[in-house]
A and B are shown apart, each in its own frame.
Chain A
């Protein structure tokens, strides 16, 4: 099994010193991957300081941990009818790919796009736009040699929410080898029981975000604190021999450790 941890677990204390401590603790806790969310003044690609880059090089790459990035996602809409904002979305992901390539990250997670009310009136056109944007990104990802991981989403304003639509997106791109799914358990739960969602897309899943939440919410709670039926979900993972990477995407380090412990226990049980 491969376990990783997201910088979401740094909580509110996001500064270079805390990041260094976070990386050291992650290594000590035997996480094998660190996922850096490229949002905010510390990690966004446009303002990542030399100090942070040094920490990534020394404490992640230098310590043989694997590095993956999560592209910016707020206001980032690959399916936008608005040309300027669509260009911005592509550029944000392109710059994230460049940074991934420069710093040695092997994968980049991104969200498929948003669907506000004009899109809801003409979703067909929005999906066409999304497909065009995705083609551009796949080409760039291949140039930078980075694996693209699209995340399943379940929010009111997300353009792709159903498993069948996610699969269609892959089909339209001829199932490219550098595109896989990062399965987000809580986002799946917004649509249907997560194990059912997973069963439909399992062949395309590369990794998973592990967190919990009450059914209608999008929280960053530890495993066992929300409504996810972990026994059912892990049974589905095991049936498909899916052993990770499982990235703990919770609100603090303590909850990441707790989640890993519970998750591992259920994985190892005979249930």
Chain B
């Protein structure tokens, strides 16, 4: 398992500050947060600093696609089209820089999408057929991330096989399981667990942790003990390729890392 950090940390600190942590905890992966304000446009040139940092320090990279307003299932054709074009553009960039995956948000169901369920279903199918076609052509795995909001299409990862039944035969589809998102859906942090059948678990290739809501340090809460405890339980059932910690603060990152080390998750 490669341990990584979100690139949002790089924009708030000097390289030296980050290198100290990378060396102390053997971090060897960067999850590039491909969204504004860090990336004002989704172009290769905008990511060059992060790419160079990763190359200079022999780290692998993956991409987290924009997800604030992008909506692949929007009933608005212009929103849907721009969202799709951006994912396809990112797949091409990922292929050029050898990014190991792209994490995407499956889509949001607002009132209008709910009103027209058949059209929304059709839009979902069209968008993901195109995305998976590109992913296979450019050999870039697409990882679907679970979100905690009621508007989200993909909230509970047990729904993965139902939502993506048309695509699960592909080697280029998987899950980026956000532990913090799962935790933030629960009122009682101590009672959350991940109980899934092996058919779904095998698709989990990446785990995210961070303050709630991850990965930003504008936390409503940051119950590190609970987050790492749930991560520990998850790791009993899942063997991910990547574990990514999201934070804009080195102090928070180190607290997560120290807690994980104390529990034997990290060596």
A interface residues, Cβ below 8 angstroms from B: 12, 14, 39-41, 44, 46-47, 72, 74-77, 80-85, 88, 91-92, 114, 116-118, 120-122, 125
Contact = CB atoms under 8 A, between A and B. Distances in A.
Nearest to A86: B36
B37 A40 contact: no
Contacts of A47: 77
Contacts of A77: 68-69
Given A41-B119, A80-B36, A116-B68, A74 B216 contact: no
A75 B70 contact: yes
Nearest to A84: B82
Interface in B15-73: 35-37, 40-42, 66, 68-71
Interface of B: 35-37, 40-42, 66, 68-71, 74-79, 82, 86, 108, 110, 112, 115-116, 119, 213, 216, 218, 248
Contacts of A14: 115-116
Q: Which 10 A-B pairs have the closest CB atoms?
A: A81-B36, A82-B36, A81-B37, A75-B69, A117-B216, A116-B68, A75-B79, A74-B110, A39-B112, A40-B112
B68 A82 contact: yes
B41 to A, nearest CB: 6
Contacts of A72: 76, 79
B71 A120 contact: no
A188 to B, nearest CB: 19
Nearest to A85: B69
B266 to A, nearest CB: 27
Contact of B115 (A12, A116, A122): A12
A74 B76 contact: yes
Contact of A84 (B75, B86, B115, B116): B86
12 contacts: A47-B77, A72-B79, A74-B75, A80-B36, A81-B37, A81-B40, A82-B69, A83-B41, A84-B82, A88-B79, A92-B78, A116-B69
Given A82-B36, A84-B42, A120-B218, A91 B78 contact: yes
Contacts of A81: 36-37, 40
A46 B79 CA distance: 12
A77 B82 CA distance: 14
A155 B143 CA distance: 29
A76 B248 CA distance: 27
Contacts of B119: 41
B80 to A, nearest CB: 9
Contacts of A122: 37
Contacts of A83: 36, 40-41
A82 B76 contact: no
A228 to B, nearest CB: 20
Given A12-B115, A117-B216, A75 B74 contact: yes
Given A75-B69, A120-B218, A40 B115 contact: yes
A125 B40 CA distance: 13
B35 A74 contact: no
Contact of B213 (A44, A46, A74, A117): A117
A46 to B, nearest CB: 6
B218 to A, nearest CB: 5
